[in-house]
Amino acid sequence: MSNKNILGDPSSIAPDYLNDGWLNELGRTRGAGPFLANHPAPGRGMSTTCVHAGTHDDPRTGAVGTPIYQASTFVLNDNQYQSVEDGFARDRFIYSRYGNPSQWAVQEKLAALEGAESAIVFSSGMAAITSTVMALVDKGAHVVASSDLYGGTFNLFNQEFPTFGMSCTMVDSYDFDAIEAAIQPNTQLMYFEAITNPLLKVIDIPRLVEIAKRRNVRLVVDATFAPPVAMRTLEHGVDVVVHSASKYLNGHSDLIAGVAAGPRKLIDMIWPRLLNYGGSLDPHACFLLERGLKTLDVRMRAHEESATALAKFLETHPRVKKVFYPFLESHPDYDTAKRLLKNGMGNITFVIEGGDKAALRLVDALRIPKQATSLGGVESLISLPFNTSQATFTTRQRADIGIDPGCVRLSVGIEDADDLIADFDRAFATIYSSKEPAHA
């Protein structure tokens, strides 16, 4: 093939690319309105959307499912040159940091699930969070954020922000008066988590939206613990929803990814940050995430079923002092959870007798849950805040944020509830039957 073919007559090089209606189907042209108007899933239900939205059967071979487009770069044609010229580079395949069909497919599925105009995937939840926050604030800006943020996000606001001349006030996410009082003339953003870790507070998002709208401040919510089959965060009026897709969205503890979803106008502002910070998601990880998402709805139902049964068991166990699971009536946010969330999730935090020493023995005695941080996978994961997520805190600092000695973080997988209950029952019997005193 001559150079003339490559540069002069692109249609002879990539005829299938040019004729593949998928590009138009995806609504990547700058037409009006949400993508979903142009690209509906073949049904309205969440599971149907999980399975089908965005997924692209290969037009050449008929292979079912989106191929992995393992390419760093794409043959340029007039169309691409024109889009670069017009400043619409997000809408064409040029180079995979900018965009790749594997990214588009999974982005379309995520946008459909969130009911968003647009979504972009990132190489991690933190890449999604950093790019989103940095896109929505200017030099000198102030942010009001929750005081119980994910550690990485806490560090973004405390370590990175000052170097950019920005500041953040952290406020108890239950205290709406304090949240409003923290808003300053230069406040551009409110940043909260839908469900906090480890105490699993369910935040009243409609009240945050009301404050944000009235005070003319944008609101970003990290909904990692409340994936779209449980709550469509944007429908409450949140501006941009972000997730660590490494957790429930992917669901198999086998990749790191993130997503930001919202109106096209804001996602278009976030996309240049993806380019600048370089947090684009690899095509193979996109394939895995898209495959994981197909079972999101059934997985969440299974997480809820096993977690509810186990939480009830823990609540009645004589050695368990406290159980935090938002779908138990004893949880302070039970009513909020019922109001905002369509179904539950697998995270349970509980406190056992005997303090952190007993908790260490418990995690060693269990056979099913693996000792690991992270959450949202099909396999149960267990960890202790005192030696993982809050290891840098003193006992008193942990107590101040409500983490008592003997606190255990459990992400219930989709294993059978009976097996999990039997495992915990046996483990408790082992650790409390020995010579060591139960009370510490």
Q: Which residues bind ligand PLP (CB under 6 A)?
A: 124-126, 150, 152, 193, 222, 224, 244, 246-247, 256, 258
| Shortest distance, position 9 Cβ to ligand PLP, whole Å | 44
Instruction: For the sheet with 407-411, list strands across it.
Output: 320-324, 347-352, 407-411, 381-383, 370-371
Strand partners of residue 260: 120, 242
Classify the phi-psi angles of 263: left when phi > 0, otherwise alpha if psi is within -120 to 50, otherwise beta: beta
Q: Is 174 noted as a catalytic residue in this protein?
A: no
Of 247, 264, 299, 361, the active-site residue reads 247
- Of the residues 69, 90, 92, 150, which is catalytic? 150
- Closest contact distance (angstroms) between CB of 122 and ligand PLP is 8
CB of 359 to ligand PLP, least distance (A): 21
Which position among 91, 222, 239, 333 bears the catalytic label?
222
Antiparallel, parallel or unpaired: β 240-244 and 258-262: antiparallel
Tokens at residue 325, please? Answer: 């699971």
**In whole angstroms, how close is the CB of 233 to ligand PLP at the nearest point?**
13
Q: How far apart are alpha carbons 108 and 66 in whole angstroms?
A: 12
Instruction: Establish whether 334 is a catalytic residue.
Output: no
The residue assigned the tokens 């849950």 is 369
Q: Are 209 and 238 in contact (CB under 8 A)?
A: yes
* 97 tagged catalytic: yes
Closer residue to ligand PLP (CB): 116 or 249:
249
CB of 435 to ligand PLP, least distance (A): 38
Provide the CB-side half-sphere exposure for 405 (13 A, CA): 12
Determine the Cα–Cα distance for residues 302 and 222; give it in Å rounded to an integer: 23
Please answer whether residues 78 and 84 qualify as being in contact, where contact means their C-beta atoms are separated by less than 8 angstroms: no
Give whichever of 84 and 256 is closer to ligand PLP, judged by the CB atom. Answer: 256
Of 133 and 328, the one with the shorter C-beta distance to ligand PLP is: 133
The span from the CA of 316 to the CA of 331, in Å, is 14
d(CA 412, CA 64): 32
| Least distance from ligand PLP to the Cβ atom of residue 307, Å | 16
In sequence order, the 6+-apart residues with CB closer than 8 A to the CB of 109 are 49, 50, 53, 54, 55, 290, 293
What is the C-alpha to C-alpha distance for residues 388 and 245, in angstroms, rounded to an integer? 21
Q: How many residues does the chain have?
A: 440
Strand pairing of 381-383 and 407-411?
A: antiparallel
Give the distance from CA 308 to its chain's centroid: 22
Nearest distance from residue 251's CB to ligand PLP, in Å?
Answer: 13
CB of 33 or CB of 152, closer to ligand PLP: 152
Nearest CB to ligand PLP, comparing residues 276 and 373: 373
Active site residue 222: yes
**Quick one: 80 or 130, whose CB is closer to ligand PLP?**
130
Rounded CA-CA distance 375/251 in Å is 8
Residue with nearest beta carbon to ligand PLP: 125
Q: Between 247 and 398, name the residue whose CB sits nearer to ligand PLP.
A: 247
Separation between Cα atoms, residue 426 and residue 430, nearest integer Å: 6
Of 17, 20, 97, 370, catalytic: 97
Q: Which residues are known catalytic residues?
A: 97, 150, 222, 247
